[in-house]
Amino acid sequence: MSKPIDPSTSLSDATTAHRDKSPNADRHAADVEMARVLNTEPIRMALDPSGAAIAHWKHDPLHDVVEPMSDHVIMAYNGTVQHVERRSGRSVAKGTFRPGAVIVIPEGSSSRWDIPKPVDVVQLYLPTATLERVARETNTAAAVDLLERTGHPDPVTSRLLLSAADGLEGNSALDTLFRHQLIDLLATRLLAVHTASPTTFEPATGGLSPKVLLRAIERLRSDSDSDVSLAALASDAGLSRSHFCRAFKESTGLSPHAWLRQYRLEQAMNMLRDTDTSIVSVAAELGYASQTAFAAAFRRLTGRTPSDWRRGVQ
């Protein structure tokens, strides 16, 4: 079994932290209810300070009632095709789970699920407060009441959510920035296509001023993880998180996460080429949780391991 995505938070600690934030006594924290009904633990789980969370589960067939939860639950299915049934009172919804399909369980809803085969799924637990913030930041009047979805075809949302299972690198600063961007993107997508009044967004245009861009880059180059949070970057620029991400990409051609990942890669290459620093020390210097995590991230970007790359340039 893989370790939790967030190396600073154990699985039991993560579950306890999320449970404590449940705003309604008759609704369960999503991770707690999922652990109960699925009778297992997630392969990976990463929490966000906003109360949102992303979890990767593999579980057996399910024939049980999912009780009301305190967050919206959005799932991206990643297994073999199968037909499922969902009962809410007298209402019966039949759907097909297949790659590219999503499942939406709105906050507070309860259903009985009959899923005949094992399931591989990535879940987003999204507080209504986060959905409302994104709606305000994108200047939309769309209702934040999500629709129930049972195997609904939505390859865009599915692809975004599944990327969470592979996109985190064991580097606290990079992973936090990636998670912030992904949650905001998913919330925007949900408002656009999974509410009773779908919204067409008109993204703000124009990049950051040179002065603001320089401050943002200085923060991204900082050694302090708190300095590179999306909230800090956006606040310093006087913009919402969503607007800042769009403007930063307009100015640099990269999202804040992609820019920081590229910068850390260049730092790693300089250290590997110009010094005799051990690979484990390079990994620690750049904020990776382990040499293994650093090597995996380096290989994803270059196609080579750090040791192979170093031998090739020396």
CATH of domain 11-193: 2.60.120.10
pLDDT at 238 over 80: yes
Q: Which CATH superfamily is domain 263-313 in?
A: Homeodomain-like (1.10.10.60)
Mean pLDDT of the chain: 86
3-state secondary structure of 54: strand
pLDDT digits 0-9 by tens, 139-151:
776 668 899 999 9
pLDDT at 13 over 60: no
Residue 70's pLDDT is: 95
Name the DSSP letter for residue 99. Answer: T
E-assigned strand segments in 35-171: 44-47, 53-59, 62-66, 72-77, 82-88, 91-97, 101-105, 111-115, 119-126, 149-153
Domains of the chain by residue range: 11-193, 210-253, 263-313
Residue 12's pLDDT is: 38
Question: What is this structure's pTM?
Answer: 0.80
Residue 9's pLDDT is: 41
| pLDDT band with cut points at 50, 70 and 90 for residue 84 | very high
Tokens representing 64 are: 């049980």
Residue 229's pLDDT is: 84
Helix, strand, coil percentages for the chain (3-state, nearest 5): 45, 20, 35
pLDDT at 266 over 90: yes
Question: Are the beta carbons of 267 and 297 closer than 8 angstroms?
Answer: no
Residue 224's pLDDT is: 63
Q: What is the mean pLDDT of residues 28-56?
A: 92
Residue 17's pLDDT is: 42
| pLDDT band with cut points at 50, 70 and 90 for residue 226 | low
Q: What is the mean pLDDT of residues 271-275?
A: 94
- Measured CA to CA, the distance from residue 257 to residue 267 in angstroms comes to 15
- Identify the residue whose tokens are 């009904």: 37
Tokens representing 219 are: 């923060």
Largest CA distance in the chain: 70
Work out whether the CA dihedral 298, 300, 305, 311 comes out positive or negative: negative
pLDDT at 171 over 60: yes
Phi and psi, residue 288, nearest 5°: -80, 145
Question: Which residue in 76, 73, 291, 261 sits closest to 164, CA to CA?
Answer: 76
| pLDDT band with cut points at 50, 70 and 90 for residue 170 | confident
- Measured CA to CA, the distance from residue 22 to residue 173 in angstroms comes to 27
Task: Give how far the C-alpha of residue 82 lies from the chain's centroid of Cα atoms, to the nearest Å.
Answer: 26
Residue 205's pLDDT is: 66
